[in-house]
Amino acid sequence: MAKLIVSLDKINKRFAGKLVLEDVSLQLKQGEITTLIGPNGAGKSTLVRIVLGLLKPDSGDIKRTSDLKVGYMPQKLAIDPTLPISTCRFLQLANTSHQACHEALESVGIAHLAATPIQELSGGEVQRALLARAVLRKPNLLVLDEPVQGVDVNGQNTLYRMINDLAKTLNCGVLMVSHDLHLVMSATDQVVCLNRHICCQGHPEHVTQDPAYIDIFGQTTAPYSHHHDHDHSLHGDVLDDGHGEHCDHG
């Protein structure tokens, strides 16, 4: 049985008096990939920050295993174009050895770019460098915020396969925020559909057939073409225009 590494029970969070997360319960297990989906403004970034321990919920319980070691991959990277920094040196900013950085770059297939200025990497190569940095310390939980941001479809499939392989190699749990369930389906064990509360969750094939999922996303593979009815402000999430269907508890 997979080891439980993070457990959230009935988490609630408000910003400026507005409810952003409502009774959210979530279990992350070692060796399992959980994909978090939902419209803009659904509370995904807030939930990720709570899992990371960067935000405290207003109510609810969080349990983390005592040996929890987290690797985090942000959605994007902004580096001054005039900063003279190689890809390997960028990883070494995490205070690890040259050898560890080389091994991490090798694990994501870009060891040959170690000496290349990070500003010269393609979009897909930058995402691989960020993934390498996330796995540097061999975490047992990887938190990935839209890891395929700015990457073409072929590159996205490659990255998802790589994440799947790394999860198995490291035997770590993965919490991944994604906006395209269709592409990530083959690389995930559990899908959690969030729209302030958890609308539905389970195996990806089951979630895509759930009425709550269809209410938000329709029967398409482009979830963000639909809107939701929660007009609230989030830290880091885009405020939706507040029109359209929302999902009910299924």
Half-sphere exposure of 182 (CA within 13 A, CB side): 9
8 A C-beta contact, residue 190 and residue 198: no
* Domain regions of the chain by residue span: 1-69+140-250, 77-138
pLDDT of residue 220: 52
| CATH code for the domain defined by 1-69+140-250 | 3.40.50.300
pLDDT of residue 43: 94
pLDDT of residue 85: 92
Q: pLDDT digit of tens for each residue in the chain (250 aa)?
A: 789 999 999 999 999 999 999 999 999 999 999 999 998 889 999 999 999 999 999 999 999 999 999 999 988 777 887 888 999 999 998 878 889 999 999 999 999 999 999 999 988 899 999 999 999 989 999 999 999 888 888 888 889 989 999 999 999 999 999 877 777 887 899 999 999 999 999 998 889 888 988 888 876 543 333 333 433 333 333 333 333 333 443 3
pLDDT of residue 77: 78
pLDDT of residue 239: 37
pTM assigned to the model: 0.82
Half-sphere exposure of 109 (CA within 13 A, CB side): 13
Of 7, 54, 9, whose CA–CA distance to 175 is shortest? 7
